Structure 1
Amino acid sequence: MGIGGCIALIGVGAILTFATDWHSDSVNIDLVGVIMMAVGIIGIATFTSIARRRRAVVSETVVQRDDRGAGGGFGGPGSY
């Protein structure tokens, strides 16, 4: 489940908890909404922690050529 699915779970759970006044004898709709919001929050936390670990660390290596005293070659010292 991606981050979009987690946000959808939080949104649907909030709607069920705060925006509806349905009553059922067998199912507590408010509790179902709270559970959906909790699962969405746990999913976002898990997704972001996994995404943070997958992020690659890129290091740059700079190679410099020193032409000041490099001798050799056919043209004399330092010629290229």
Structure 2
Amino acid sequence: MIFFSINEAVLVVAGVLLISGVVMGNLAFRSGLGVKRWTLIGLILGPVGYPLFNTHKRFAMKRAAGKRASTIRL
């Protein structure tokens, strides 16, 4: 079993949060959503914010398309 010291554990958690913030900011940019908002959410929540991002993206797409509209995704 591998044990980490407290310093190593904090470094790993900070790294995961930082990477998550960068990835969610990039995804928000590619989706046309607020980059700063989703980067901050990625930095705070980490990977837990990804399902929230997908839900928000889906609702934004539905809102932009309007009612009774169909979309084709490639």
Query: Which structure's residues are more often helix, by fraction?
Result: 2
TM-score interval, smaller chain:
0.3 to 0.5
TM-score norm. by structure 2 comes to: 0.33
The TM-score with structure 1 as length reference comes to 0.31
